[in-house]
Structure 1
Amino acid sequence: MKGMRKIRRGKNFAGVVQYALKPGAHHKSDPVVIGGNMLGDSALELIAEFDSTKHLRQDVAKPVWHNSLRLPDGESLSNDQWAKIADDYMKKMGFSDTHLCCYVLHDDPAGQHIHIIASRIDLNGGKLYLGRNENLISTQIISKLEVAHGLTVTKTAPSIAPKQPKRKRISRNEQMLSERTGLPASKEALQQILDKSLADTPDLLTFIKRLEEAEVGWTANIASTGKMNGFSFEYRDIAFKASQLGKGYSWANLQKQLNYNPDHLEFLRKGIQTKEALPVPVP
């Protein structure tokens, strides 16, 4: 299953909705809305609903979000299967139930695909979906959905394939200590825990919870201005700066491996301890 090479954002809902629902000779059947959370299913009804969100945030120049999911040639799914996959995809991408979205099925001789159209403006208070690093995250999510839903696993394009984080190698002294004790070096063990905790692109709170479950201490380094500069860690009573672990663990690179929601930083800025206050992620 593939998404568009680049997720698109736009100013007007009318164009993309009309395009998605426009009949064509190349379709086996006319495009149809097969899922989402909207009341209408005609172009006029959908456009009116989407446009209602624009009034909540008139400062947002591009409220439209558009991607597609395409099966390999000749493959097909039922409408219910498509809707379930799309719901799963949007949730993992970071959209909430109060972001309006619809899924439009195109059934072509070459294979089925759906268009996902969403508003970046949340009905609940006009909160804006930011979607940082969303093209890379989308590619990673699609790969996981193929496995989870029993679809044909397609090859990830080399140009956007996720790379392993850059690690610092353990020192000679650390290696010798590891050989004497028969245990992995603390730095190497911590790197492995971090990599495993980031493997499925979790949100920030889930990532922190996993560290605590692995008995890794963490400190968020937040400037007086409120800017997040990254994490430092403690493992086996040894403190590590991110720079000691490697570039892959800097805040700039950690963000790329997280389903990042800036609001989660408020928990850290207020000094709330995760063991007492952070919500337990629901599987």
Structure 2
Amino acid sequence: MTSSITMTTAGGARPAGWLGYALATTLLWGVWGAFAGLPAQRGFPETLIYVVWALTMVPPALLVLARAGWRVRRDGRAVFYGLTIGLLGAGGQMILFYAVKAGPTYLIFPLISLSPVITIALSYLFLRERTGRLGVAGIVLAVCALPLFDYTPGGAPQQYGLWFVLAVGVLVAWGLQAYFIKLANASMDAQSIFFYMTASALLFIPVALAMTDFSQPINYGADGPLLAAATQVLNAVGALALVYAFRHGKALVVSPLVNAGAPLLTTVIAMALAATLPSSYKLAGIGLSLAAALCLALQPEDAPPPETT
């Protein structure tokens, strides 16, 4: 990965590396989000898409490990942090499979999108991260924008049963994962973090296979697993860029920026492909996300984050 570059703003010189990595994740996840649903629409199950995603994590993991001389931290703290990060991410995905079967997606995904609230709160309380007025404004705007991208009004009133508990579980898992990525970066190198994320994703492949209904027709053609691989590699590389974004930037800024920016780009791409205008909710989300991204990008940093080896 490239080293941090320095840019000058009205607030003085500051490292811009975190912003570059965060924007890379936003771009990759935004494009991925626009096309990720195609394989499932064409008969390739979501559980098998997970398998493909886990396998696409391997090439970027090998690349960064090779560039680092194949060094992986194996001390107790590194193993704990690495597996915690990986299991929270992959485990959250497994829970999501059950959640969408038990409840309405138009309520589940807006709820899950609030996971940065967990990251922000933990980073503020335990990592003592702070930001200026622009940063605070950006965080608030991003959090307000997040549920609007996936919310679809209508449908019968829903009982808050199992699906709600599962959705909250995913929200907490992914919010904690982002916090632990930032926490681990203080004592681990990025390639080790991503190695354990990849290993954890691979560990859940048997679970995903067990959840797959192979009695149903499955599309094994080019627009099935191959299309899934082409989209999921964007997800995997975006996750790697996110690790570096957390390494160089504050979690309470990086998390809302990426989680608001990626759906914004997904929505714009979907609009362009369909040649239609989004709902009023998505339009509001777009406006809030643009304002949030501007505030978060312009907020000066107090000092460069310390580098660790």
Query: Which structure carries more relative contact order (alpha carbon 8 Å, separation 6+)?
Result: 2
Task: Select the structure that is richer in helix.
Answer: 2
- Give yes or no for TM over 0.5: no
TM-score with structure 1 length normalisation? Answer: 0.25
Give the alignment's TM-score, normalised by structure 2.
0.24
Q: Of Structure 1 and Structure 2, which has the larger fraction of its residues in strand? A: 1
- Greater Rg by CA: 1
